[in-house]
Structure 1
Amino acid sequence: MSKPVILCVDDEKVVLDSLKSQLKQAFGDKYFYEMAEDGADALDAIQELMEDSIPIVMIVSDWLMPGMKGDELLIRIHQQYPNIVKIMLTGQAEPSAIERAKQEANLSFCLHKPWSEEELVTAIQASLAKL
C-alpha cells in the first residue's frame, strides 16, 4: 500500500519549497509530499491520486491564489472528500473567507503567513491526531 499524501497548494514556488522542506524535516518518510501551484492543479492532482488509490490525508492551501481562492478550493475538495484534513495559510484572507472555510470545508486550522515551523507542525499533528 502506498504512503498517504500531504498536498500543499500555493502560487509561490518559494512557499511550496519551504513547506516541503519543513514537512520532510518534521515527518520524514511517513508521507509523500505533493505540490500544486493553483487550485486547478490541486484538483487534477487529487483526481490522479484517487484514481491510483493513493490516500490523501491533508491539504495545506494558500488563500490568495489566481483563478481560485483557497476557501473555494477547500470547499470543493470537502464536498467530494470530506475526510481529507484541511489547513489554510494566509497573508491576507478576509475573515469572512476563513469563517466560510470553517463552516463549509471543515477547516482544521488557519495559519497566518509568515508561519513558524513549530506552529505548522503542531497544527498538522493536532489535525492528524483527530483522524
Structure 2
Amino acid sequence: MKQGILLCVDDEVIVLSALRDQLRKAYGSQHLIEIAESAEEGLEILDELTGQGLIPLVVISDFQMPGMKGDEFLIQASRRFPYVVTVMLSGQVSDAAVNRVRCEGHLSSLIAKPWDAQALVQSIDEGLARFASSRPSELGV
C-alpha cells in the first residue's frame, strides 16, 4: 500500500499530541501522521500533501472548533476524497450534526472524548479495511 495520510484536527494541542502519539504507535511505520489546529488548516494540509502524491486515508476531527465546525470539515474532506475514512472524536456534538456527517460525509465512526486508544485504533482499522476493499484501482494503494 502507498503511504497515506492520517490527519487529526482539533483545536486543543494536548488532544492533538495524544492522538499523534497513539497513531504513530499504531501506524507510524506505514503512514504519515499529520495534525492541524483548525479545519481550515486541515484542508490546506490535505491539499498540499495530495499535491505531493500522498493519499488521505483517515481524517479524525473534533466537532466543536472555532471557525469551521468538525461536521462541515468532514463533509468537505469526504467530498474531495470520497474514499477517506472519517472519524468524529468529540465530547460535544449534536445528533443533527452527526446525522448530517453520516449522510453527507460518510461518517465511519463517532468516538466520545475521552477516548479509549484501543477502540480508536480498532475503528480506524475497520475503516481502513473498508477503504482497501472499495478504493478505486487508480489510487494504486
* CA shift for structure 1 position 2: 5.9
- Aligned 1:1-131 pairs, distance under 5 A: 3-131=3-131
Query: How far apart in 1 are the matches of 2:68 and 2:110?
Result: 17
Letter in 1 for 2:53: S
Query: Aligned to 1:64, what secondary structure does the other structure show?
Result: coil
**Identity over aligned pairs, percent:** 39
Contact 2:5 2:58 (C-alpha < 8 Å) held by counterparts: yes
Q: Counterparts of 2:72 and 2:14 in 1: how far apart (Å)?
A: 23
Q: Is the 8 A contact 2:56 2:81 kept in 1?
A: no
* Aligned residue type for 2:7: L
Q: Which 4+ residue blocks in structure 1 deviate beyond 3 angstroms?
A: none
How far the C-alpha of 1:28 sits from its partner, in A, is: 3.4
Give the 3-state SS of the residue equivalent to 1:108 in structure 2: strand
Unmatched runs of 5 consecutive residues or more in structure 2: 132-141
Flag structure 1 segments of 5+ consecutive residues without an equivalent. Answer: none
Distance across 1 between alignment mates of 2:91 and 2:14:
15
In the alignment, the residues of structure 1 paired with residue 45 and residue 28 of structure 2 have an alpha-carbon distance, to the nearest angstrom, of 21
* Counterparts of 1:126 and 1:76, CA distance in 2: 22
Aligned counterparts of 1:2 and 1:48: Cα–Cα separation in 2: 17
For residues 8 and 18 of structure 1, the distance between their equivalents in structure 2, rounded to whole angstroms, comes to 10
Instruction: Calculate the TM-score normalised by the size of structure 1.
Output: 0.96
Per the TM alignment, residue 76 of structure 1 is displaced from its structure 2 partner at its CA by 1.1
